[in-house]
Amino acid sequence: MSHEVPYIGAIMEAISLEMARDESVLYYGQDVAPNDDHDLVKAFGRDRIRVSPISETAEIGMAVGAALSGMRPVVELLMAEFMLVAMNQVVNEAPRLRYMSGGQVKVPLVLKAGFGFTAGWSGQHTGTIYGMFTGVPGLKVVVPSTAADAKGLMTTAIRDDNPVIYLHNYLLTLEHGDVPDGEYLVPFGQAAIRRQGGDVTIVAIGWEVGLALKAAEQLASEGIQAEVIDPRTLAPLDLDTILTSVEKTGRLVLVDQATRHGSFSSRIAADVAEYGFSSLKAPIKQVTALDATIPYSEPMEAFLLPDEAKIAKAVHQVLGSTPVAA
Amino acid sequence: MTQLDNDRLIWIYTQMLRIREFEERVKRTFEEHPGVIRGHTHLADGAEASIVGSLATLKPGDQLMATYRCHGYPIALGTDTKKMMAEIYGRRDGLCGGYGGSMHLVDPSVGFLGASGIVGQSIPQATGAAYAAQIRKQGQVVLNFFGDGASKQGAFAESLNLASLWKLPIVYIMENNNYNVATRSEQEDANAAAGEPLSVKAKAYSMPGVTIDGTDPLAVYDVVEAAVARARAGEGPTLIESKVYRLSAHGNLIAPPGVPLHYPEHEAIAVFGNREEYDAALRGDPVPRFRMRLVDDGTLSSDRADAIAAEVTDEMQAAVDFGLASPFPDPERALDFVYA
Amino acid sequence: MDEARLLLQTMWRIRVFEERVAQLKRTMQVHGLVHLSIGGEGVAAAVCGQLRDDDAVYSSHRAHGHAIAKGVPLPAMMAELMGRADGLCRGLGGSMHLVDKRHGLLGATGVVGGNLPLAVGDALAARLSGSDRVTVVFFGDGAVQAGHFHESVNLAALWKLPLIFVCENNGLAEFTSRAEHSPVERVIDVVAPYGFQRELADGSDVLAVRSAFGAFLEQARDGGGPFLLECLTHRRRGHYEGDAQQYRDERAELEWAQRDPLTRFQADALEQNWVDTQTVAEIETAARAAVEEAVKFAKASPFPTPELAAELVYA
Amino acid sequence: MNSTETETTFVTTIASTLALAMRADEHVIVLGEDVAEGGPYTATAGLSEEFGRERVRNTPISEGAVCGAAIGAAQAGLRPVVEIMYIDFITLALDQLVNQAAKAHFMSGGQLSVPLVLRTQGGASGRGAAQHSQSLEAWLTHIPGLKVVMPSCAADAAGLLLSAIADPNPVVFIENKSLYFKREQVPSAPESLPIGQARVRRSGNDLTIIATSRMVSESLRAAERLAGEGVDAEVIDLRTLLPLDTDAIGRSVSRTGRAVVAHEAVRIGGFGAELTAQIQELAFDFLLAPIQRVGAPFTPVPLSPPLEDAYRTGADDVYAAARFAIEWDQPESSPFASGSFPAGAAGS
């Protein structure tokens, strides 16, 4: 049985179900239920649902401390870039403590934040910075692209014994989708093949998955069959599924809302270039945001970001028609 | 109490009115020209007295930095409102060429070094500007404006300690509107919860802390002027809590593309169902109050006041027209200015 | 009285342990950045001596004393400092990252003040679990200028958490004097705006620290808090071992040497007849024996195998 | 070019170059924890004596505010060189660096500029454990608006530091603590070196090794060993990670057809990934073997000596990677595990 809810609703559904299932689950953050007639407050009380000051360092550090003593906090951080003011807690404390303690302690917590709000939010609220977390041993990074995954991955994130960065794309907030009723888990490290195809592999992350699928339909009308893969979790990354697909197609296009230089898609490109060397028939092409801060004005914003046309163009390039050299 | 001459008093009133009218037009744009403003805007209506009263103390060469609720300062400093509106509309002739938008206005030519979109993060930068001023030794002072929420950021504590330690020429003005978006101060601030004025935080850095009624421009002027004088004299920073009431919601609706943006009801009503609080604030609206005061004490004739109002209305209408008429930037320009 | 004997035992164990660590560091047998608390044993002994195993202690980068006083076994601790497989943290953490969950040492941190928000969360968890356990966080005066100190103090005060902040103010933040870090000399004045109970104690007076902390502890057990206890201590050694220490003030050195908490309390204890000279001698000998035991244990312990590194990245 | 050279160390060169820049321009100031005392590694020794404690400022342990203050001072016309003692602590200043410094020029439509140099040092050595040993440069290369410099020797450090201070943009200048006290030849009157230019440290035709910082000397050692086996390796010292000298890289790999990229940071998510992605686009048609990445295993830096030694990348790793690339002919099962996520990481 399933029901239809918006992406954001699916996330809250998972949090609420887990809070009911396990009383060690906490949910707090800025502007989380400031008044008492909020459903979560009614259901779980003020102790477990808390509104906190604008103190990211303290909010996240507190979550680490609470996790060390047996809680499973979910911290609402609103926007991924706000984590930048608390990066020491995210990078130097949460993912390190288990390791440095020789495995004595564990730090089960979820840092929930929206990202990629490329809708006129200008330079400090639009960043797609998951690449910064994927290079940090000890952290797991989750980027759901559908309502069902949003629920299933949140459930898994809350039950995971490690710090998990749960990033939901703001542009997907109100996208409705079918979501399984009741308890629902999506395992980490398992990519989803959103569309089968034999000519080219497209790996897209978050919001870009939808764009890739639209582009794939357009290409299909030209007789090009694209396989579209959604990694769903970036750390751990399901490289096998990508490599298996590239073995079949020999061609890879990566679609990423982040800026190109030092991006996560560069990391996928590097892995495939190395481990899939013998299968590659053409250079891997990346369709990413251009290397600039996201500008405020709409035409400039659109110019920087990936779109269906750019994806289709890249596919044509790897299929050999147009020259590739950067 | 400082005696300001009539022209200065009228200047203060005019700036308050210009800020109010400009922001009214920003707000109305969401209804009259849907889709023209994207992203997030934040209005300072209710804080005009605090803004202008503070800026009235500045001399040429002084500088200021603010938070993302930043329309008022450049207006009072003399930035062209046409360019400001064009920026908020994302147009080529905008103050920042369409790169920044409402949260990131900058105009160094009038001493406005800019604002940060991240709560509390302009505080260290303003502190650095004051550090530069101290080294330059030209008697410059820096004003730094931020909200009550920012005082729970580490950046606030680190910066005030530094400024006090180094006796930097800066005045920190915390505009306390009692809400962090939809959270009331007493829900997130230990001092507020204990019923104390937030200026007590200054104790932690051994700097003076003063709390003032931010709806009275002259009261603001007196206190800020003293703090500015102290800073100029090399005696160090001051923390001023200026109590204001934000008459609009935190900002326009936060929604993904496609959903029409507009200003929802103020959080006092929308979240806490407290209409009395909001209506009381409306009754205390500093702009009409100050006009009444100037007219009553004969500083300003009601004819002159109406004339000023008419001029301001025309100016802001012109700003809107200019903004709408201005073309969008060339998309390719998006790669400019990544590096100097 | 037993209490006095216990305090002396703890202080001697810390003193001897750290003097031995200094030697081992010079001969490269102890690894990494090592920060010693010699001269500050009084605070560790007086505070941790009153705690239970389920009370959490968050320590700073200067953690040996707190760990020993909290009951962490010396052999595992020494093995950790020497990077051995039988170390507290199996050789992965070292001096700056000591953790002993069983004895309620939730951890040292290598980032100044990085432990403060964690302690706030631990206290919140204690409150939520309805237990009467208490959280104690140690930090130096250098951490007070870090933003997370204020974020944490505001939260602890706002939520009235059973958390006791213990500041060991040695007047030196790393290599420079407090005067270069803050215009406010006393940390109790820094938290003045938050209005919770705070005390200033002479860190070289063990009994003074003990009674001041004891009063806070009692209230914290009954759900009171937060509290701040500022102890004026002295760092007899450099910021880290090997520090050239050009910033030292000779006169202060001398004065503090006379106010060494260990010699000072030992003299009092003898004068008050809480202990006799023979007991004192036994305590010192026992401490030295225990430390040598620990060194022997550590040296006998093998280095961990490289595979371990990959094993423990994720839970 | 400079005729005269003197023998000195990397860390002394940093101090003397800072002094040079401060003499040349009164707007240059130095601030950071303990800088007026010379800092823990003596990288600022002697500066406060010559330029006074106003231009050479000790700061509290407030990385966020100190970095922010440097940005504000830069926007207001100074040229601050701020020191973050360990790159691990850059986490405490990251918002200021990423959201403020890197974007001010852009968001102001070119009105503001932030001529700031952030000096810091990283790398695993001396058993510093997981919070004092990291190599976090890959993050910074992902931020448009920043420049990222990583010199591998004292002479380059001098020239690049001068350019960084003169640059109108925020430049992150990353040193490596294990290079600090090696004795090297340095021009007695250093001249500025352009940012964004790689340097061929050893030319060769069979294989290109692209390395950063400490791994440059390690790669040269590996190259010597390879030469003994008749393999002629070219070694490129990147020197600047952002902007990246793609021409130099593309030219070399197009010629040799084989590439090894080597750094000290973790392999997964390390900057080597960007290099590999770039190379396979620039030189795809010339590639004779998969590009090999040498980087640290995907774990925090362990304290225990044998563990830290095993963790640190070195000449042997470069050599092994080079041999793999050289011997590569037929498609075979690639050393998969080395690139994949640690065991047990898949979670529940």
Name the residue ranges covered by the structural domains of chain D. Answer: 5-187, 199-330
Element (H, E) at D223: helix D214-228
Domain C2-300 falls under CATH 3.40.50.970: yes
Quote the CA–CA distance of C73 and A293 in Å, as a whole number: 53
Q: Does residue C85 contact residue C91 with C-beta atoms inside 8 Å? A: yes
- Mean of pLDDT over chain A: 92
pLDDT, one tens digit per residue, over D117-136 is 999 998 887 676 777 878 88
Contact B121 D100 (CB under 8 A): yes
Q: With a cut of 50, say whether residue A307 has pLDDT above it.
A: yes
Task: Report pLDDT for C115.
Answer: 82
Instruction: Tell me which chain A residue has its CA closest to the CA of residue B252.
Output: A121
The pairing of strands D28-32 and D79-84 is parallel
Retrieve residue B136's tokens: 């330059």
Binding-face residues of A in 222-281 toward B, CB within 8 A: none
Q: With a cut of 70, say whether residue C69 has pLDDT above it.
A: yes
Three-state SS at A46? helix
Please report which confidence band the pLDDT of residue D333 belongs to, taking 50, 70 and 90 as the band edges: very low
Distance from CA of D76 to the nearest CA of B (A): 6
Give the predicted TM-score (pTM) of the model: 0.82
Q: Does residue A51 contact residue B188 with C-beta atoms inside 8 Å? A: yes
Architecture category of domain D199-330 in CATH: 3-Layer(aba) Sandwich (3.40)
DSSP assignments along C111-144, one per residue: STTTTHHHHHHHHHHHHHHT----EEEEEEGGGG
Residue with tokens 């705070």: C198
CATH of A2-180, picked from 3.40.50.720, 3.40.50.10860, 2.60.40.1180, 3.40.50.970, is: 3.40.50.970
Instruction: Show residues of chain C in contact with B206, CB under 8 Å.
Output: 183-184, 189
Task: Report pLDDT for C248.
Answer: 59
> Could you tell me the CA-to-CA distances from D319 to D200, D325, D326 in Å, in that order?
18, 10, 10
The pairing of strands C198-202 and D199-202 is unpaired
Binding-face residues of C in 112-171 toward A, CB within 8 A: 114, 116-126, 128-129, 147-148, 151-152, 154-155, 158
Nearest to D299 among C87, C181, C309 (CB): C309
Q: With a cut of 60, say whether residue D347 has pLDDT above it.
A: no
Q: With a cut of 50, say whether residue A326 has pLDDT above it.
A: no
Quote the CA–CA distance of D167 and B45 in Å, as a whole number: 41
Query: Domain-by-domain residue ranges, chain A?
Result: 2-180, 192-318
Which of A143-152, A257-266, C263-272, D276-285 is modeled with the greatest confidence?
A143-152
Task: Report pLDDT for D344.
Answer: 38
Quote the CA–CA distance of D188 and C51 in Å, as a whole number: 61
Q: With a cut of 80, say whether residue B116 has pLDDT above it.
A: yes
Q: With a cut of 50, say whether residue D338 has pLDDT above it.
A: no
Binding-face residues of B in 221-250 toward A, CB within 8 A: none
Alpha helix stretches (DSSP H) within chain A: 7-21, 39-48, 56-68, 87, 97-100, 130-134, 147-159, 208-221, 239-249, 264-275, 298-304, 308-318
Please report which confidence band the pLDDT of residue A61 belongs to, taking 50, 70 and 90 as the band edges: confident
Peptide bond preceding A236 in cis form (omega within 30 of 0): yes
Q: Does residue C283 contact residue C13 with C-beta atoms inside 8 Å? A: no
Quote the CA–CA distance of C133 and C110 in Å, as a whole number: 26
Task: Report pLDDT for D331.
Answer: 47
Contact A297 B91 (CB under 8 A): yes
Contact A105 C87 (CB under 8 A): no
Instruction: Show residues of chain C in contact with B157, CB under 8 Å.
Output: 145, 147, 149-151
- Residues whose CB is less than 8 angstroms from the CB of residue D260 and which lie 6 or more positions away in sequence, other chains included: D207, D208, D209, D210, D219, D291, D292, D293, D294, D318, D321, D322, D325
What order of strands is seen across the sheet that includes strand C105-107?
C105-107, C56-58, C135-140, C163-169, C227-232, C198-202
Task: Report pLDDT for A279.
Answer: 94
Q: Does residue D131 contact residue C111 with C-beta atoms inside 8 Å? A: yes
Please report which confidence band the pLDDT of residue C126 belongs to, taking 50, 70 and 90 as the band edges: confident
Quote the CA–CA distance of C70 and C48 in Å, as a whole number: 5
Backbone φ and ψ for D6, nearest 5 degrees, come out as: -130, 150
Q: With a cut of 80, say whether residue D340 has pLDDT above it.
A: no
Retrieve residue B272's tokens: 């806490």
Task: Report pLDDT for C173.
Answer: 61
Contact A88 D276 (CB under 8 A): no
Contact D303 C111 (CB under 8 A): no
Task: Report pLDDT for B289.
Answer: 97
Task: Report pLDDT for A106.
Answer: 87
Beta bridge partners of C139: C167
Q: Of B221-235, B276-290, C32-46, which gets the smallest average pLDDT?
A: C32-46
Task: Report pLDDT for D63.
Answer: 83
Please report which confidence band the pLDDT of residue A164 belongs to, taking 50, 70 and 90 as the band edges: very high
**Average of pLDDT values for A162-187?**
96
Which of A216-225, D58-67, D308-317 is modeled with the greatest confidence?
A216-225
Q: What is the ipTM of this complex?
A: 0.77
The CATH number of A192-318 is 3.40.50.920
Three-state SS at A50? strand
Query: Is residue A73 exposed (0-12), middle (13-18) or buried (19+ Cβ within 10 Å)?
Result: buried
Retrieve residue A12's tokens: 């809250």
Peptide bond preceding C226 in cis form (omega within 30 of 0): yes
Q: With a cut of 50, say whether residue B64 has pLDDT above it.
A: yes
Task: Report pLDDT for B235.
Answer: 97
Nearest to C147 among B153, B201, B207 (CB): B153
Q: Of D33, D83, D105, D132, which is the active-site residue?
A: D132
Quote the CA–CA distance of C271 and C279 in Å, as a whole number: 13
Listed residue (A324, A264, A317, A318) closest to A288, CA to CA? A264
B335 touching chain A per CB within 8 A: yes
Neighbours, chain D (3 or more CB pairs < 8 A): A, B, C
Contact C145 D131 (CB under 8 A): no
For chain B, the distance separating the N- and C-terminal CA atoms, rounded to the nearest angstrom, is 47
Contact B154 A123 (CB under 8 A): no
**Average of pLDDT values for B131-143?**
89
Q: What is the CATH class of D5-187? A: alpha beta
Retrieve residue C42's tokens: 């009084």
Query: Domain-by-domain residue ranges, chain B?
Result: 6-243+262-322
pLDDT, one tens digit per residue, over D70-107 is 888 888 778 999 999 889 888 888 888 888 888 888 87
Retrieve residue A106's tokens: 């564990």
* CA D217 from centroid of its chain's CA atoms: 13
When scoring C118, C127, C303 by the number of chain A Cβ atoms within 10 A, the one with the most, hence best to mutate, is C118
Q: What is the CATH class of B6-243+262-322? A: alpha beta
Q: Of A38, A125, A168, A176, which is the active-site residue?
A: A125
Query: Is A176 an active-site residue?
Result: no
Quote the CA–CA distance of D117 and D165 in Å, as a whole number: 6
When scoring A25, A54, A56, A69 by the number of chain C Cβ atoms within 10 A, the one with the most, hence best to mutate, is A69
Residue with tokens 């000596």: D305
Please report which confidence band the pLDDT of residue D345 belongs to, taking 50, 70 and 90 as the band edges: very low
A61 touching chain D per CB within 8 A: no
C146 touching chain D per CB within 8 A: yes
Among residues of chain C, what percentage have pLDDT more than 70? 91
* CA D125 from centroid of its chain's CA atoms: 15
Instruction: Show residues of chain C in contact with B190, CB under 8 Å.
Output: 153-155, 157-158, 194-195
Query: Domain-by-domain residue ranges, chain C?
Result: 2-300
Contact D346 A189 (CB under 8 A): yes
